[in-house]
Amino acid sequence: MPNVMIRDVPAADLEQIRSAAADQGVSLQAYLRDAVHTQAAQLRRRVAVARTAERLRGRDAVPETERQAVLEAIDDAHAERAEQLTDRPAT
């Protein structure tokens, strides 16, 4: 994995980032690595959404009843998973 250095970061910005890292109990390097990873993941999602939008351009929309059924199924699955996690014994 290549090393990357960022130059000319304003002192106030760097102090804010150092403070946030300390609040999370991690090193500055770990905090910045996680921030860069999060940004890269967001960029990958944007590319995937744009590709999907292009593929679907010109197609008919999903009927509202089907859309609502899918969203309700997702909500139900989230609620069920939350209940499973809440009911787990502490380790």
pLDDT of residue 91: 62
Average pLDDT of the residues in 23-52: 96
- Whether pLDDT at 2 is above 90: no
Token pair for 59: 């197609």
Question: Nearest CA to 16 among 3, 37, 35, 39?
Answer: 35
- Whether pLDDT at 1 is above 80: no
Mean confidence (pLDDT) of the chain: 93
Which residues have C-beta within 8 Å of that of residue 2, sequence separation ≥ 6? Answer: none
- Whether pLDDT at 90 is above 70: no
In this prediction the pTM is 0.62
Query: What digits encode the pLDDT tens for the residues 40-65?
Result: 999 999 999 999 999 999 999 999 99
Q: Quick one: CA torsion of 22, 9, 39, 19, rounded to 10 degrees?
A: 10
